[in-house]
Structure 1
Amino acid sequence: MSFYTSLNGLKNSQTELGVIAHNIANVETNGFKKGNTQFADIVAGSAQSDPRMIKGIGATVEGITQNFGLGPIEQTGGALDIAITGDGFFAMRSADSGNTVYTRNGAFGVDEAGFITDGGPNRLQVFPTDADGNITGTTPMDAQIAPTNAAGAEYVGVVVGADGVVSASYADGSTEAVGNVALASFITPTGLKQIGSSNWEATGISGQANYGAPGTGQYGSLMSGSIERSNVDIAEELVGLITAQRNFQANAKAIDTATQISQTVINLRS
């Protein structure tokens, strides 16, 4: 029995080492959220067992949870570099599949068609607004900047306010609201599915997305010209790495000890 108990311990430590290694590898990934390995003990006993004689049979990985704590905010000066200073996710709709993904990485740009994207097929979702930036609908849509305004003046730049209003500037000095950034929230954000590139998908555990404007209710305001960095604390991860390594070594030693005891018993009987 001790062999299997220690073997489970080895596997658990290996899982924790993998999670920590993944965290460390993404210390420079914008919008990344670190993972934490959660363990639970395993106990087996029947209804007839004396509760004073029940012993544990090891541990198991109960889950790998994500920590959605706010990461450091780095000022970049980019007009379409946007950080969320509180709760919420940017909603991005794929032009290829039509699926919506969610991210905290606000490094955006404008493609050749005027859509605000993450550099790939995903387009930033905004609430429709009137010319003054007042929200006129609650269904998010793709953020698209017109190359010219009604007077024929060419597009020259874009700004994003703390309240989420995206405003395009034109050569004649006029500005025009493109939309208001739609932030998403979830009942259980730890239930979101990681799909890479600092993106998540909604699942049955996370629940469906609820949308709101920045700076309202539970949603954080936006900070233009800034990017949210990874929330990985490298010093904390290195300490965890040492602890996981010691746990791995201890379980390996337990297997070695159990082997020696078994060998001694076999020698006594021979």
Structure 2
Amino acid sequence: MSFNIALSGIAAAQKDLDTTANNIANVNTTGFKESRAEFADVYATSIFSSGRTKVGDGVATSVIAQQFSQGSLQFTNNSLDLAVTGEGFFALTPDRQSQDLTYTRSGAFKLNKDNFIVDNNGNFLQGFAVDPVTGENQSVSLSTTQPISIPTSAGAPRATSNVFLSMNLDSRAVETGSTTFDPTDRATYNHSTSVTVYDSLGEAHTVTTYFRKLATPTPPAAAEWETKLVWDDNTAHPTIPAPVAPATRNPNSWFSGDNLQFDSNGSFRLPAPPAAAPTIGVPTADLNDPANGYLTNGAQFSAPVVVNFRDASGVKLPTQYASNFDVQNLSQDGTTVGNLTGVDIDAFGRVLASYSNGDSAYLAQVTLVRFANVQGLKQVGNTSWKQSITSGEPIGGQANTGTFGAVNASSLEQSNVNLTTELVDLISAQRNFQANSRALEVNSTLQQTVLQIR
């Protein structure tokens, strides 16, 4: 009996050594979770045996329990490196159409040749669909997850229809002596500013807005400014010939807009409703007429290009203070085709792509999954797990809520192995093995002594 007990002790000590050695071997494995060998004594008796004199039958390995404590973060320069500070796991699938989910804490992700986010083994990182503008997720059901893709371009161009401009016009400016506006003569206007707009094919055009201070404002305004607009001014683009001017327009090919009026405090005077706020624009008939030469690439505008003297929200309006000319807001709603310039992932796991044309869009929200019993997960290698009967069903959710934890971009979760503790455990397991080996040796000596009795 003592022979079998000693053998069970050696087997248990070997299992302890194996577990410790595996922990030490993975001390630098990203997302690795250390294991702990847990043992139980073996005791068997019958209804007719005395429990008072019964000796145990040795030891057995009860379970190799993984310890899912948080590992420390290692910061990197790769925005696709992700780490979770919490209980959540990343969800992966082996291919784009599969629903066979595996779960990992190793967030060393990268783009594959098709611009999908994958791990080192080519498994696809799963995400929830989101609103591209607000980033609000549409579902947290694991059945709706999709592989996260990062498009390298911003999609089809969008023609400009509105320019938003607010500025301060210098009240100290002197009225121009000339009564005729000429964009090539600096003496015929006070201020100017330009913005790039885009046609339906994404080609860039320059729209320049000019301001001329009037000597006699219209009552009750204290000051008044004329506005002019020039499309693809040949002074800004010497290689572009000046457009042909229709008979209804000034020979210098400029457009007149509404006058801007200010009160004695320098505040913008909006017209009383139902009159529209001041604007200046280029009608579609002029833009799309080939005779004008504004569009030479076959593009067409479906709406006029209008300069609105306010910001997009209508909060910032022009002012006229005794201060230098200053553009406070200048934007437009058109885009050309843009190339990917950056990817950012916030604590909620929302993936935001930025493009060279100024566009940005939320692409997805990284899926996080938690379990009722993480120690019940089944290891499948490559620092990954699958659900089991004892782990419970996977519960999907968004990062930074509940116990899922936050997503940390440009970070990796290091192994939670404490090397000092493992080395101490290694010595302890070695001593345990030696002691059981000694017990086995003593048992063998006793058996030899019995056999030699005559």
Match of 2:389 in 1: 204
Letter in 2 for 1:206: S
Deviations 1:216-258 (A, max 9, x none): 1111011111110000111100000000000100000001111
Match of 2:370 in 1: 185
Deviations 1:162-195 (A, max 9, x none): 1111111111122111111110111221121212
C-alpha separation in 2, matches of 1:53 and 1:12: 24
Q: Verify: 1:124 aligned to 2:125, yes or no.
A: yes
230-239 vs 135-144, which moves further: 135-144
Structure 1 residues 258 and 97 mapped into 2: Cα distance closer, same or farther (>3 Å)?
A: farther
SS of the equivalent of 1:223 reads strand
Q: How many residues align?
A: 269
Deviations 1:4-26 (A, max 9, x none): 11011111111111111111010
TM-superposed CA distance for 1:77, in Å, is 2.5
Among 125, 133, 153, the alignment partner of 2:338 is: 153
Among 395, 420, 435, the alignment partner of 1:235 is: 420
Q: How does 1:41-80 map to 2 (within 5 A)?
A: 41-80=41-80
Structure 1 residues 80 and 156 mapped into 2: Cα distance closer, same or farther (>3 Å)?
A: same
Q: Verify: 1:250 aligned to 2:252, yes or no.
A: no
Q: Judge conservation of contact 1:96–1:121 (CA < 8 Å) in 2.
A: no
Q: Which has the larger radius of gyration?
A: 2
Gaps of 5+ in 1: none
Structure 1 residues 104 and 235 mapped into 2: Cα distance closer, same or farther (>3 Å)?
A: same
C-alpha separation in 1, matches of 2:54 and 2:408: 56
Match of 2:210 in 1: none
Gaps of 5+ in 2: 158-336
Question: Under a length normalisation based on structure 1, what TM-score does the superposition of the two structures give?
Answer: 0.96
C-alpha separation in 1, matches of 2:63 and 2:152: 48
Question: Under a length normalisation based on structure 2, what TM-score does the superposition of the two structures give?
Answer: 0.58
246-255 vs 120-129, which moves further: 120-129
Deviations 1:52-97 (A, max 9, x none): 1222110000010101101111111211111101111000111178
206-215 vs 30-39, which moves further: 206-215
Cα RMSD of the aligned pairs, angstroms, is 1.3
Q: Verify: 1:266 aligned to 2:451, yes or no.
A: yes
C-alpha separation in 1, matches of 2:380 and 2:96: 16
C-alpha separation in 2, matches of 1:117 and 1:83: 15
Q: Judge conservation of contact 2:96–2:124 (CA < 8 Å) in 1.
A: no
C-alpha separation in 2, matches of 1:136 and 1:96: 20
Q: Judge conservation of contact 2:96–2:147 (CA < 8 Å) in 1.
A: no
Q: Verify: 1:142 aligned to 2:147, yes or no.
A: yes
Q: Judge conservation of contact 2:81–2:109 (CA < 8 Å) in 1.
A: yes
SS of the equivalent of 1:43 reads coil
C-alpha separation in 1, matches of 2:64 and 2:372: 18
Sequence identity (%): 38
TM-superposed CA distance for 1:50, in Å, is 2.3
